[in-house]
Amino acid sequence: MIKSKQTKIGDIIIVLICLLLIFICLVPMLNVLARSLSSSNYLIRNEVILWPKGWNVDAYKTVLSNAKYVHSLWYTALLTVGCTILSLTMTVICSYPLTYDQLKGG
């Protein structure tokens, strides 16, 4: 397809806007990830932005060794799976009969 110059400029602008949106969506999460993996002296001085400084996995060790947190994680996973199965089953068995127009009261 032969594109005019205007269309090509429009394409580039759209790609730039999409990159900006991706940046906005990802930066908070990457920042938190970097902070969780940094050592505390850099954190206090607020120097960690996108890349962890002073590799430190102590936070993860603390969380994963505490039985309460692990139990909560396990319970969350169980709840999610159970609820998804239950609500999906309910939705399907409720909606299939409703697709029949001849069904009285449907």
Partner 1 sequence: MEGSALRSAKAASAATATKAKKSGGFSFSTYMRRYGTLYLLLVLPIVFFIVFRYTPMAYILMAFKKNNIIKPPWQVDWAKNNGFEWFIKAFKDQQFIRALGNTIKLNLLDLVCGFPAPIIMALLLNELAFKRFKKVTQTILYLPHFLSWIIISGLALRLLADNDGLVNILYKQMKGDPNAVLPFLSKTNWWVGSYIALGIWKEAGWGTIIYLAALTGISPELYEAAAVDGAGRFRRMWHVTLPGLRPTIIVLLIMRLGSILGSEFDRPLALSNKLVTNASTVISIYVYQKGIQGGQYSLTTAVGLFQSVVGVIFLLGANSLAKRFGERGIM
Residues that bind partner 1 (CB under 8 A): 6-7, 10-11, 14-15, 17-18, 21-22, 24-26, 28-29, 31-32, 35, 46, 49, 90, 93-94, 96-97, 99-104
Rounded Cα gap, residues 91 and 42, in angstroms: 50
CB of residue 72 to partner 1, shortest distance in Å: 13
- Comparing CB distances to partner 1, the nearer of 18 and 79 is 18
DSSP the chain: ----HHHHHHHHHHHHHHHHHHHHHHHHHHHHHHHHTB-HHHHHTT--SSS-SSB--HHHHHHHH-HHHHHHHHHHHHHHHHHHHHHHHHHHHHHHHHT-TTSTT-
CA atoms of 20 and 11, how far apart (whole Å): 14
Question: By C-beta, is 32 or 63 nearer to partner 1?
Answer: 32
Q: State the nearest-atom distance from the C-beta of 25 to partner 1, in Å.
A: 6
Smallest distance, Å, CB 82 to partner 1? 15
Nearer to partner 1, 3 or 71 (CB): 3
* Least spacing, CB of residue 98 vs partner 1, in Å: 8
